[in-house]
Structure 1
Amino acid sequence: MTTTPTDDPAGAPTGDQAHAAGRPEAVDRADDRTGEQAGEQAAERAGEQADEQVGEQLDAAELADAMTRAIKRIRRRTGERLDPYGITPGQARALRTLAHAPGCELPDRAMRLSDLADKLHIAPRSATTVVDALEEAGLVERSPDPADRRAVRILLTEAGRAAVERIGRVRDEVAQEYFGEVSPADQAVLLRVLRSAEARFLAAGPPRRPAHPGGAAR
């Protein structure tokens, strides 16, 4: 009696059986599917890594934005507190810079006007305007430089030193208001991180610039 072939899928040959029977295309299709899955997984991993890198960049930008907002708010509040004393934020910076200069109370060692401009990162003409206002308020006085008659040194007066102390108290008050609710441990971590970032930034030096727009950096 002749046996009739069945269409039952359960009786379909396996990949190994098909290959042995001269039907390698079934095995090839299985290998193709495995390769496609591996490729998809690799693409997913690459995408995740790219997302992580973008996330790190966004986090750094967010941190920079948070720092900028903090600085603006602290400066604004400090300026509001100093306004009743007739001292602007720029004048406060100049007074504190003069007070922290070595030999600030000695006529032959006090800071030169040109050095003050450099410390404040402003033009000499702008520094002259600031010093003019401070001198008019009786907070500083000009003194000829004994070593160079063309140069001028800036001395704090008694009123100027008192103003520096007042500025220090205002700065402490504002800082306490802003960071007072932050734990000492978190403040220490924040300070350490900012100092580390600044040190690395300064150590890296200025960025290399391309020779011309679109050119390669040198």
Structure 2
Amino acid sequence: MADDDEETLPETFWGVAHQLRHLRKKTLAPWDIAPSQARALSVLLREGPLRLSELSDRLRIAARSTTEVVDALQTRGLADRHPDPQDRRATLVAPTPEGTRIGEAIRASRDAEAEAYFSILTDDERADLTTILRKLRTAEH
């Protein structure tokens, strides 16, 4: 294998992304929940009830995929659909009390795992990395 100094930026980035995906999978294992379901639950906990289209936008996935994710959460009793009081033709998705409990437990576990993972970085390095990643994520490509 090549020396780490010979690894390109994209190779290094994807190596870290792979480690983080593996860590996330390990973190979610106690709840037997898919990453897409955990992401949706996290968005709903952070932003409150959303229309399916809004949730699709936040998750950056197709509406059909969002429907599948919400169906799975609803089957597990972690989310519910209900009419939008502002527009009875529209439906809102919201976490159930159990969804809130599990979502908060997942968040606490993920925060602890992330803290451990990034603990080798100084506060300044973390701030720089956050700035760089946000810049890349929001750039027009």
> Normalized against structure 2, the TM-score is what?
0.82
- Cα 1:176–1:114 change in 2 (3 A) is same
Q: Is residue 67 of structure 1 aligned with residue 13 of structure 2?
A: yes
- Letter of the aligned partner of 1:67 in structure 2? F
Alignment partner, residue 154 of structure 1: 93
Alignment partner, residue 191 of structure 1: 130
Larger Rg: 1
Residue 86 of structure 1, aligned match among 32, 40, 43: 32
- Take 1:126 and 1:198, find their aligned partners in 2: how far apart are those partners? 22
Higher fraction of strand: 2
Q: Is residue 137 of structure 1 aligned with residue 71 of structure 2?
A: no
Tell me if structure 2 keeps the 8 A contact 1:78–1:170. no
Tell me if structure 2 keeps the 8 A contact 1:74–1:174. no
Alignment partner, residue 51 of structure 2: 112
Alignment partner, residue 215 of structure 1: none
Alignment partner, residue 166 of structure 1: 105
Q: Tell me how large the CA RMSD over aligned residues is.
A: 2.2
Identity of aligned residues (%): 38
- Cα 1:195–1:115 change in 2 (3 A) is closer
- Letter of the aligned partner of 1:161 in structure 2? T
Specify the SS of the correspondent of 1:153.
Answer: strand
- Cα 1:143–1:181 change in 2 (3 A) is same
Alignment of 1:5-24 (within 5 A): none
- Cα 1:197–1:154 change in 2 (3 A) is closer
- Letter of the aligned partner of 1:141 in structure 2? D
Q: CA deviation at 1:81?
A: 1.9
- Take 1:77 and 1:198, find their aligned partners in 2: how far apart are those partners? 21
Q: CA deviation at 1:197?
A: 4.4
Segments of structure 1 that go 5 or more residues without pairing to the other structure are 1-58, 105-109, 207-218
- Take 1:194 and 1:118, find their aligned partners in 2: how far apart are those partners? 20
Q: 1 or 2 for the larger relative contact order (CA 8 Å, sep ≥6)?
A: 2
Q: Which moved more, 1:68-77 or 1:152-161?
A: 68-77
Q: CA deviation at 1:198?
A: 4.5
- Cα 1:155–1:196 change in 2 (3 A) is closer
Q: CA deviation at 1:135?
A: 0.8
Specify the SS of the correspondent of 1:100.
Answer: helix
Specify the SS of the correspondent of 2:15.
Answer: helix
1:27-59 deviation per Cα after TM superposition (whole angstroms, max 9, x unaligned)? xxxxxxxxxxxxxxxxxxxxxxxxxxxxxxxx9
